[in-house]
Amino acid sequence: MPKYTPFKTVELPDRTWPDKVITRAPIWCSVDLRDGNQALAVPMSVNDKLEMFDLLVQIGFKEIEVGFPSASQIDFDFVRRLVEEKRIPDDVYIQVLTQSREALIRRTMESVQGAPNAIIHLYNSTSPLQRKITFNLGKEEIKQIAVDGTRMVKSLLPMLAGTNVRFEYSPESFSDTETEYALEVCEAVMDVWEPTKEKKIILNLPDTVEWVPAHKHADQIEWFCRNMSRRDHAIISMHTHNDRGTGVAACEMGVMAGADRVEGTLFGNGERTGNLDIVTVALNRLADGIDPELDLRDVPRIRRIYERCTRMTVPPRHPYAGELVFTAFSGSHQDAIKKGMDRRDDATAPDAPWEVPYLHIDPRDIGRTYESIVRINSQSGKGGVAYVMSRDYGFEMPKSMHPEMGVLVNRIADELGRELTTSEIYEAFNREFLQVDQPLEVRKITFDYIDDENRSLSCKTVVRCDGTEHVLGGIGNGPISAFAHALETQGWRDFRLTDFHEHAVGQGVDTEAVAYVQIQLNESGKMFWGAGVDTNIDRAGTKALVSAYNRAHR
């Protein structure tokens, strides 16, 4: 299509970044209060900003861009409130953004007077589009704007006596700028600022609009780093956006290519398709076994505060934080998760290697719980239903019983056309297996040992069948076989017992016995499971046999 052409970038045939491995977290800088805030339909109030600032500090950000104080009285007042109310910890740098104009620079530096630490962030646009359309200026004129602004900041440093000042420069739209020219501008800025190895300049290389594929942006970063004259005098920073949907990938590849620092927002809030999502990048480091150096142990709380302050919503499929990201509807996924969880629960070491199919991190590490992992709809499988029954209600159904319960639950979900709650799943189990009392209902039953050596039992029972009561008796080597013999005396035993399981549910005085019985009809060969619950294991077994019988004969 002639309207769109492939984006041209640097030639780097000997690139090395694809073979690099990220081994530590980058320097993080949150721009939620500036870049994120300007993208909100309803900008944050001062109280919202204060709550957000406190959250960012609690998470562990040491660099926080707090506003554009020369462009907004609200931003100026907010920065002053942070300073005057001594809300800024001694180890945190507040960052303020300014364009390269004297009045704006002066106002910006006034806003941070008295702060313990401050980063003055100067920027100007350098891309061909900006030079041509926005400013109608040539390369030398654009470079001079950057140089003049840097000189002005340096000359005004006495205004910030007592404040640890660092300087950051951004050639805005770096990824859309000729990389050689961007480096030329940055070198000119460094010549004026005169950084040292001990007091480095921050050179922020913004992917202001994500024009280029992520791997091409990494090429730009590596070329820039390799061709700088004083690489050890600068911190190379990234600021990716998400217009192509690959902002996270562009950032991570850029770090592999040599970047030291990352600017972004919680959950990627920002102009258009958003800024870099720092939560995702940080938790990707956690998933790689690297300390993210941010406290993300309670992502649900971070999400709640973020949504309240920004009035934005984290999508349900958003990485790590979305409501559904630790959920499985697919039957095969549910079965694999259940097996992984069961195996994990048997491990003794809490830090044993994480090996659960379909879950690449442990949800508990970020404040999520297992309650949401398996959710049931018409697409769910037998394993997921079994997992819910085990996790929430303690019923360890035999594996061969899973299909019957799965078909039942899937049919209900299909009829309702929605996901089922765990209580609805239990209610279905209760109706189908525990409360089925037709055609056979046991009104009374007792067992007595009649042969201590062979452990034989006699069974006496009163049952109602099709509205008529019968008094029955039988003998067997256990309660289930004795009850089955009692049914045989009435000609009702048209089945054979094929399987039996039992276990306890609860603890102490609340412990109950759960029994599962499977029978096979003599004539059709069809098989049916039943279940029974009672404080007495003998009665639980007979209830399970009655359940299976009634399910087979209704």
Beta strands in 232-303 (DSSP E): 234-240, 261-264
For CATH 3.20.20.70, the residue range(s) in the chain are 25-310
State the Cα–Cα distance between residues 379 and 329, nearest whole angstrom: 6
pTM of the model: 0.77
Strand bridging mode 456-465 / 93-99: unpaired
Helices (H), 73-231: 73-84, 102-111, 128-129, 139-155, 179-193, 214-227
Which mean pLDDT values do the consecutive 10-residue runs of the chain (554 residues) have? 81 96 97 96 93 98 97 94 97 97 96 98 94 91 97 98 98 95 98 98 97 96 97 98 97 98 97 96 97 97 97 95 84 79 73 89 86 58 78 90 89 85 91 93 89 78 91 91 92 93 84 94 95 92 94 92
* Residue count of the chain: 554
Q: What's the order of all strands across the beta sheet hosting 456-465?
A: 440-451, 456-465, 468-476
Work out the angle between the directed axes of helices 402-416 and 382-393 (0-180°, nearest 10): 100
Kindly state the tokens that stand for 278: 């720092």
- Give the per-residue pLDDT at 377: 62
CATH topology for 440-553 is: Double Stranded RNA Binding Domain (3.30.160)
- Within 8 A by CB and 6+ apart from 342, the residues are none
Token pair belonging to 118: 């401050």
pLDDT for res 375? 61
Q: Where do the H-state alpha helices sit in 137-293?
A: 139-155, 179-193, 214-227, 247-256, 278-287
Q: What is the pLDDT of residue 429?
A: 94
Q: What is the pLDDT of residues 180-211, one digit of tens each?
A: 999 999 999 999 999 999 999 999 999 999 99
The pLDDT score that the predictor gives to residue 372 is: 45
Which pLDDT score, from 0 to 100, does residue 507 have? 77
Cβ partners under 8 Å of residue 306, min gap 6: 52, 55, 266, 267, 269, 312, 314
Beta strand segments in 424-479, E: 440-451, 456-465, 468-476
d(CA 325, CA 373): 8
Tokens of 214: 């992520």
CATH 3.30.160.270 domain span(s) along the chain:
440-553
pLDDT digits (tens, 9 = 90+) for 460-504: 999 999 889 999 999 998 899 999 999 999 899 999 999 999 999
> If DSSP codes are grouped into helix, strand and coil, which group holds residue 220?
helix
Name the fold adopted by 25-310: TIM Barrel (3.20.20)
pLDDT for 8 equals 78
44 CB burial (10 A radius; 0-12, 13-18, 19+): buried
Distance from the Cα of residue 148 to its chain's centroid: 45
Residues 6+ apart with CB under 8 A from 435: none
